[in-house]
């Protein structure tokens, strides 16, 4: 059990972590820091939050584990901000969905003050905000933990154990390998869903009338927050471009098979896609 857990910038993820940690008795005390006074007022009323001080220093003081839960583009700045005020050599982690540059930056600014180990719980949702927080958000979902080669391995283990105690399935990968993986399994699906929705909104504005479950499923994640996704694109641009190009090749190859009426090959592709999907949970 951690003596003190600090959640910084609670949105959906930060608040869900706080709730989950309290319900599972993972920390003796949970301190939460939010920038806005209104958010701090809301926090005071939450049973999972023991204190919500206005000062970042107070929130971090004496902490054993600090979670930076801001959107990915603000994490580097937060790490720089907390570095000079840490007094307890805490473990520091984050929930950013892109890990390469971020991990190196945080590791370097926190060195000697705290031990940084990046995390990425894959438990987002179209919904955002503290009001949608859920103590079971991480249960059964993947959480990446992305130490660098030079990261203290006991700190990496503590962070992994923390996510496991919240119910997540932890995978350790290097930050760079993580970024290539999520470009393929998360960012690419989002951009496809968004492109399909975008295309239909122009070609067939009344598509809602004709919409079956297939279209609903395939475009669901296009409802995600545009600013959050833009930030992800900015952070993981080279890997995303690589994934988009590879998928374009795949679609173009299918298009060629259909044009050539090479139905043997088309059938093979449909069957291979089905085999892949069938091994995932429904």
Of 88 and 184, CB closest to its own copies: 184
Minimum distance, C-beta of residue 99 to its own copies, in the bound complex (Å): 13
Minimum distance, C-beta of residue 236 to its own copies, in the bound complex (Å): 10
Q: What angle do CA 229, 233, 235 make, to 5 degrees?
A: 115
Of 124 and 147, CB closest to its own copies: 124
E-assigned strands of the chain? Answer: 2-8, 27-33, 65-68, 91-94, 115-116, 118-121, 142-146, 169-172
Of 1 and 211, CB closest to its own copies: 211
Told to check if 9 binds its own copies by CB under 8 A, we report no
Instruction: Give the contact letters, 210-239, x = binds to its own copies (CB under 8 A), - = no.
Output: xxxxxxxxxxxxxxxxxx-xx--xx--x--
State which of residues 79, 193, 235, 239 lies at the interface with its own copies (CB under 8 A). 193
Question: Residue count at the site for its own copies (CB under 8 A)?
Answer: 87
Displacement of CA 90 from its chain's centroid (Å): 22
DSSP string, 152-201: -HHHHHHHHHHHHHTT-EEEE--HHHHHHHHIIIIIHHHHHHHHHHHHHH
Q: How far apart are CA 68 and CA 75, in angstroms?
A: 7
Task: Give which of 195, 176, 183, 196 is closest to 237, Cα–Cα.
Answer: 183
- Candidate segments 33-41, 79-87, 106-114, 267-275, binder of its own copies by CB under 8 A: 267-275
Tell which positions 80-139 bind its own copies, by CB under 8 A. 122-125
Q: How far apart are CA 253 and CA 62, in angstroms?
A: 58
Minimum distance, C-beta of residue 273 to its own copies, in the bound complex (Å): 4
Residue tagged 């905000």 (tokens): 129
Minimum distance, C-beta of residue 177 to its own copies, in the bound complex (Å): 11
Are 237 and 249 in contact by the 8 Å Cβ rule? The answer is no
The structure tokens listed for 209 are: 């009338």
Of 56 and 171, CB closest to its own copies: 171
Instruction: Give the contact letters, 154-183, x = binds to its own copies (CB under 8 A), - = no.
Output: ---------------x-x---------xx-
Of 81 and 265, CB closest to its own copies: 265
State which of residues 42, 56, 85, 244 lies at the interface with its own copies (CB under 8 A). 244
Q: Reduce the DSSP state of residue 43 to 3 states and report it.
A: helix
Q: How far apart are CA 95 and CA 226, in angstroms?
A: 18
Per DSSP, the chain holds a count of helices (H) and strands (E) of 12, 8
- Candidate segments 7-15, 24-32, 129-137, 268-276, binder of its own copies by CB under 8 A: 268-276
Tell which positions 40-79 bind its own copies, by CB under 8 A. none
State which of residues 8, 102, 166, 188 lies at the interface with its own copies (CB under 8 A). 188
The radius of gyration computed from the CA coordinates of the chain, to the nearest angstrom, equals 21
């Amino acid at each position: 059990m951690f003596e003190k857990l600090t959640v910084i910038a609670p949105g959906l993820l930060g608040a869900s972590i706080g709730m989950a940690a309290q319900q599972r008795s993972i920390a003796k005390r949970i301190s939460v820091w939010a920038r806005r006074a209104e958010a701090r007022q809301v926090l005071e009323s939450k049973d999972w939050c023991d204190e919500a001080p206005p000062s970042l220093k107070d929130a971090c003081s004496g902490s054993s584990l600090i979670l930076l839960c801001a959107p990915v583009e603000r994490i580097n700045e937060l790490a720089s901000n907390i570095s000079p005020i840490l007094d307890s050599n805490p473990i520091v982690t984050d929930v950013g969905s892109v890990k390469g540059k971020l991990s190196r930056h945080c590791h370097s600014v926190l060195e000697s003050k705290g031990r940084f180990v990046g995390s990425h719980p894959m438990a987002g949702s179209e919904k955002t905000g503290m009001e949608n927080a859920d103590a079971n958000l991480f249960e059964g979902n993947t959480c990446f933990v992305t130490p660098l080669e030079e990261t203290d391995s006991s700190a990496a283990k503590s962070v992994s154990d923390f996510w496991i105690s919240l119910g997540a399935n932890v995978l350790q990968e290097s930050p760079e390998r993580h970024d290539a993986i999520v470009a393929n399994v998360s960012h690419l699906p989002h951009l496809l869903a968004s492109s399909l929705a975008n295309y239909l909104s122009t070609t067939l504005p009344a598509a809602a009338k004709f919409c079956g479950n297939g279209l609903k499923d395939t475009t669901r994640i296009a409802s995600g927050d545009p600013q959050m996704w833009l930030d992800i694109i900015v952070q993981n641009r080279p890997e995303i471009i690589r994934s988009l190009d590879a998928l374009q090749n795949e679609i173009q190859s299918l298009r060629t098979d259909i044009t050539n009426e090479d139905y043997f090959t088309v059938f093979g592709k449909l069957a291979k896609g089905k085999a892949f999907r069938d091994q995932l949970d429904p």
